[in-house]
Amino acid sequence: MTAGPIRPLGKKYSAEILTATSEPRSARELSERLDIPIATSYRRIDELLDAGLLKLDDRVRSAGGRRMKVYRRDVDAISIEFDEEAIEVSLEDRGSGVTESGEWPKAYTD
């Protein structure tokens, strides 16, 4: 069992990337807009993709004619609840509005 979306949410720049991707954005655009090193931008994007919080939206051509991937946030809301035994995370899907929940024992998030 993994920590699901919890671990990437706690990393520097993850929240900023999720906020900035309400519209499709490339890794380079996120790097420049948020003043994030490009390598860090790619790492956070990969982590957020793996956690199901971000999705590949499209592949578009840049002004220079190169193909680039653009990403968009895949959730509209994230809710985290804590209790003695576990942490529950609820994610509201951007497209459908459906809320999915998962519970992780605290041991997986320490």
pLDDT tens digits, one per residue of 12-63: 999 999 999 999 999 999 999 999 999 999 999 999 999 888 999 888 887 7
Q: Of 109 and 33, which is predicted with more confidence?
A: 33
Question: 6-108 — its CATH code?
Answer: 1.10.10.10
Q: Provide φ and ψ at 7, rounded to 5°.
A: -60, -50
Give which of 98, 96, 91 is closest to 6, Cα–Cα: 91
Burial of 19 (0-12, 13-18, 19+ CB in 10 A): exposed
Signed CA dihedral, 46, 96, 26, 7: sign only: negative
Looking at this protein, which amino acid is placed at residue 3?
Answer: A
Domain ranges of the chain: 6-108
pLDDT tens digits, one per residue of 59-98: 888 778 889 999 999 887 887 888 877 777 777 767 665 5
